[in-house]
């Protein structure tokens, strides 16, 4: 069985596009539409990687990130932030986890696959 | 060190020694004066009695022939009353009855009682050489060691003395009293009358007086110092302390503090100047505080604007980048599929949908921004006409019904007939009503939407009430919803400028817009008013 990637994104179109991008790989995909749902799904299964949007309803992506980095059992999960905001706007997240990768929208499929492989092979 | 001492103490440090020195000098001077006065008094008395004795002696000497000659027989017999004996008798009597001691003395005495003491010997020798007629004053101590004031009056040989003390007619001639004549010549010193007055009494008087004076001196010195202290306190220290206290109070921030001194002296002037200064400081400080407050407010506003600007950039960038990202990925994946020769109808439909949606989204965003910009710069031309608002609202409801029905919502309307006309730009107000109704549909998932119109005062009030997500910000911040790009929830799709456009259009018509909500998930009620303008006014407005 391949590795698990959790995608936290509020727009359905992004979910559809990410799924198509990863359909040739054997990654298992968990979908969540906001931070709250993502937290609930974390408890069910711990993913190997999280792809995270920032602007989410209820619990936003940055809050969710800071929350999991503060929890010992999830702190080690690598995270790729895919957002229309630059890394500069969320310096505090990078300070919390220097290994965090920021992928600024719009990005290409190649960029995303590269980042995923760099994290979990 | 001295500079740290309080003013009153300092002044007293100067005044007290001066007072003590002055009082001491006065005291000494009075004592000396008194002593000299008493001494004069005593010596005067001594002189009077000595002179008296001298006169008696001269008289007795002058009357010797008369005294010793028997008037009937003419025989001369010594009667025992010559100057020496009379003088001795008076002196003895005087000495016994007063505390003065008087005696006749001579270096060459006949009566051993008249033998001179040490002081008298010294003085007699002096008279012998100087032959001075003036009496001499002096002081010495008696055998008990008591101080005495001495007075010695010289007696020189005169004509009448010669019968007893003159040159003997023959060797060993005796005078009438039976003593050998000494052979004196006129002008030679025979002896002296000596008076000794005890200084004990005088000293006692001086001592008592000195004590009284000392007490008076000390009491008056203390009184003067105390009085000075009171005066300094009343006229310097108290007003000064008031001023110092007021200065401190002002320094500590109590700018309303004033000095209450109403005297006409320098302190009164100082207080007046001080109060004027304090008043000026208070006014200036208040002004400064007001200015600072205004500056802070302005600064706060600027910071707020800065934040708004940041948020706008963030939201606009999101609204532009997010659809762009979807377009890019969709196109990339689609072109990959084409290259690989795969044909998947489902996927193609999905791509088609994503691309169309996002192009529309981008278009809407860009148009909204352009529209708002032109509205705010006043470039929008309003073509006003008098119309029934009810008709306009009904048309909008009709066009939105389909959208509502898709979400399972019903639109209920309460639109009375025969309402007055309003003079408005039809296109603009249609946009406002559409926006409000579309928003109500967009943010409501179930229930109904109420649209109503009614006349209120001199205007018409339009209302859209929904049972949707409501507003999750406090009432006092509701106005922010009408700010450009404000979105209560950043994740909500849309540009956040629709309400801002509504507000701009309504304000251009003299109307206003506001919102009420009891909170999250409790629905919202948007209302706007438009003024009713009659035909006449309308013409004026148009012209």
Distance CA A24, CA A31 (A): 17
What is the edge-to-edge ordering of all strands in the sheet holding B524-531? B410-414, B448-456, B459-465, B524-531, B512-517
Residues linked to residue B470 through DSSP beta bridges, in sequence order: B520
**DSSP SS3 for B235:** helix
Phi, psi of B40 (to 5 degrees): -60, -45
Min Cα separation B486/chain A (Å): 15
**DSSP SS3 for B287:** helix
Nearest to B333 among A11, A84, A109 (CB): A109
Distance CA B155, CA B83 (A): 12
Question: What's the pTM value of the predicted model, to 2 decimals?
Answer: 0.44
Q: Report which secondary-structure segment, H or E, holds B152.
A: strand B147-156
Are A84 and B318 within 8 A, CB to CB? yes
Interface probe for A, chosen from B307, B310, B313, B329 (most Cβ of A below 10 Å), is B329
Distance CA B396, CA B207 (A): 128
Contacts of B317 in chain A (CB under 8 A): 84-85
Among B18, B9, B22, which Cα is nearest to B229's?
B9
Give the DSSP letter string of B3-15. GGS-HHHHHHHHH
- Please tell me whether the peptide bond between B351 and the residue prior to it is cis, using omega within 30 degrees of 0: no
Distances (CA, A) of B268 to B240, B259, B261: 10, 9, 6
Question: 23-62 in A: which are within 8 Å (CB) of B?
Answer: 34, 55-57, 60
Distance CA B434, CA B78 (A): 173
Contact (CB, 8 A) for B397 and B451: yes
Distance CA B9, CA B5 (A): 7
Burial (CB < 10 A; 0-12, 13-18, 19+), residue B299, is: exposed
Positions in chain A short of pLDDT 50: none
**pLDDT value for B522:** 86
Among B77, B105, B78, which Cα is nearest to B91's?
B105
**pLDDT value for B235:** 84
- Other CB atoms within a 10 A radius of the CB of residue A101 amount to 18
- Other CB atoms within a 10 A radius of the CB of residue B168 amount to 14
Contacts of A84 in chain B (CB under 8 A): 317-318, 320-322, 325
* A46 Rama class: left (phi>0) / alpha (psi -120 to 50) / beta: beta
Looking at the complex, does the CB of residue A85 fall below 8 Å from at least one CB of chain B? yes
Q: Report which secondary-structure segment, H or E, holds B514.
A: strand B512-517
Are A106 and B347 within 8 A, CB to CB? no
Q: Is the dihedral of CA B486, B401, B516, B431 positive or negative?
A: positive
The conformation of residue B185, written as its DSSP 8-state character, comes to: -
Whole-complex ipTM: 0.87
Contact (CB, 8 A) for B192 and B105: yes
Nearest to A17 among B330, B489, B492 (CB): B330
Contact (CB, 8 A) for A21 and B329: yes
In sequence order, the 6+-apart residues with CB closer than 8 A to the CB of B129 are: none
Min Cα separation B317/chain A (Å): 7
For chain B (543 residues), the mean pLDDT of every run of 10, in chain order, is 75 85 87 86 89 92 87 85 90 91 92 91 93 90 87 91 89 87 91 90 81 87 87 84 88 86 83 90 91 92 79 78 91 88 84 90 82 64 87 90 86 90 90 91 89 91 91 80 64 64 88 88 91 63 46
Contacts of A16 in chain B (CB under 8 A): 350, 354
**pLDDT value for A97:** 87
**pLDDT value for B153:** 94
What is the edge-to-edge ordering of all strands in the sheet holding B147-156? B101-105, B189-198, B147-156, B136-141
Looking at the complex, does the CB of residue A117 fall below 8 Å from at least one CB of chain B? no
Tens of pLDDT, residues B270-290: 888 988 998 998 899 899 999
Contacts of A21 in chain B (CB under 8 A): 329, 333
Min Cα separation B321/chain A (Å): 6
Distance CA B166, CA B180 (A): 10
CA closest to A15 among chain B residues: B326
Q: Please give the sequence-ordered ranges of beta strands (E in DSSP) within chain A, or none if there are none.
A: 4-8, 28-32, 49-52, 79-83, 101-104
Q: Report which secondary-structure segment, H or E, holds A63.
A: helix A61-69
Are B325 and A106 within 8 A, CB to CB? yes
The torsion of the CA quartet B490, B495, B499, B501, rounded to 10 degrees, works out to 150
Contact (CB, 8 A) for B487 and B315: yes
Size of interface A-B (CB pairs under 8 A): 61
Distance CA B95, CA B87 (A): 12
Looking at the complex, does the CB of residue A73 fall below 8 Å from at least one CB of chain B? no
Distance CA B38, CA A99 (A): 119
**pLDDT value for B176:** 83
Contact (CB, 8 A) for B530 and B509: yes
In sequence order, the 6+-apart residues with CB closer than 8 A to the CB of B476 are: none
**pLDDT value for B472:** 79
The conformation of residue A101, written as its DSSP 8-state character, comes to: E
Are A14 and B350 within 8 A, CB to CB? no
**pLDDT value for B28:** 87
Min Cα separation B431/chain A (Å): 28
Are A106 and B328 within 8 A, CB to CB? yes
Residues linked to residue B425 through DSSP beta bridges, in sequence order: B384
């Amino acid at each position: 069985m391949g590795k698990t990637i959790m995608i936290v994104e509020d727009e359905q179109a992004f979910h559809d596009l990410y799924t198509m991008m990863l359909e040739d790989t054997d990654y298992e995909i968990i979908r969540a539409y906001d931070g709250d749902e993502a937290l609930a799904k974390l408890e069910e299964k711990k993913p190997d990687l999280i792809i995270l949007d920032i602007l989410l309803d209820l619990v936003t992506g940055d809050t969710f990130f800071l929350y999991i980095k503060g929890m010992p059992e999830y702190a080690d999960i690598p995270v790729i932030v895919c957002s229309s905001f630059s890394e500069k706007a969320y310096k505090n997240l990078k300070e919390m986890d220097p290994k965090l990768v920021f992928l600024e929208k719009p990005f290409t499929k190649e960029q995303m696959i590269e980042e995923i492989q760099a994290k979990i092979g | 060190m001295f500079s740290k001492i309080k003013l009153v103490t300092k002044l007293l440090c100067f005044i007290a020694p001066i007072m003590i020195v002055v009082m001491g000098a006065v005291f000494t001077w009075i004592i000396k004066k008194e002593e000299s006065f008493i001494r004069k008094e005593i010596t005067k008395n001594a002189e009077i009695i000595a002179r008296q004795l001298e006169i008696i002696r001269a008289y007795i000497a002058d009357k010797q022939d008369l005294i010793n000659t028997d008037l009937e027989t003419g025989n001369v017999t010594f009667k025992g009353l010559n100057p020496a004996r009379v003088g001795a008798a008076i002196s003895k009597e005087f000495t016994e009855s007063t505390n003065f001691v008087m005696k006749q003395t001579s270096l060459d005495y006949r009566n051993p009682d008249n033998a001179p003491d040490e002081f008298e010997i010294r003085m007699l020798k002096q008279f012998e050489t100087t032959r001075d007629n003036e009496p001499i004053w002096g002081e010495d101590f008696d055998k008990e060691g008591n101080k005495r004031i001495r007075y010695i009056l010289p007696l020189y040989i005169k004509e009448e003395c010669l019968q007893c003390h003159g040159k003997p007619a023959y060797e060993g001639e005796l005078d009438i009293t039976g003593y050998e004549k000494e052979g004196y010549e006129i002008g030679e010193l025979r002896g002296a009358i000596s008076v000794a007055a005890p200084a004990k009494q005088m000293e006692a008087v001086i001592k008592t007086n000195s004590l009284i004076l000392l007490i008076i001196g000390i009491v008056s010195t203390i009184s003067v110092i105390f009085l000075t202290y009171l005066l300094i306190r009343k006229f310097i220290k108290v007003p000064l302390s008031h001023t110092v206290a007021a200065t401190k109070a002002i320094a500590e921030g109590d700018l309303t503090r004033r000095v209450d001194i109403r005297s006409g002296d320098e302190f009164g002037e100082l207080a007046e100047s001080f109060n004027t200064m304090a008043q000026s400081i208070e006014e200036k400080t208040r002004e400064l505080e007001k200015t600072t407050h205004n500056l802070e407010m302005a600064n706060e506003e600027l910071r707020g604007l800065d934040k708004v600007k940041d948020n706008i950039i963030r939201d606009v960038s999101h609204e532009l980048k997010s659809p762009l990202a979807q377009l890019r990925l969709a196109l990339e994946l689609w072109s990959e599929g084409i290259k690989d020769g795969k044909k998947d109808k489902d996927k193609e439909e999905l791509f088609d949908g994503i691309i169309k949606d996002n192009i529309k989204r981008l278009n809407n965003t860009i148009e909204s921004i352009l529209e708002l910009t032109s509205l705010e710069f006043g470039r929008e031309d309003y073509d006003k006409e008098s119309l029934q608002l009810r008709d306009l609202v009904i048309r909008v409801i009709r066009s939105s019904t389909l959208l509502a029905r898709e979400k399972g919502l019903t639109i209920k309307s309460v639109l009375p007939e025969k309402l007055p006309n309003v003079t408005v730009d039809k296109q603009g107000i249609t946009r406002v009503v559409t926006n409000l109704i579309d928003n109500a549909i967009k943010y409501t998932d179930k229930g109904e939407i109420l649209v109503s119109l009614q006349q209120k005062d001199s205007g018409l009030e339009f209302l859209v009430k929904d049972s949707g997500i409501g507003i999750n910000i406090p009432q006092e911040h509701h106005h922010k919803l009408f700010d450009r790009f404000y979105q209560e929830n950043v994740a909500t799709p849309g540009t956040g400028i629709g309400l801002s456009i509504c507000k701009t259009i309504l304000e251009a018509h003299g109307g206003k817009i506001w919102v009420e909500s009891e909170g999250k998930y409790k629905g919202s009620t948007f209302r706007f008013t438009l003024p009713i303008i009659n035909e006449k006014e309308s013409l004026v407005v148009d012209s």
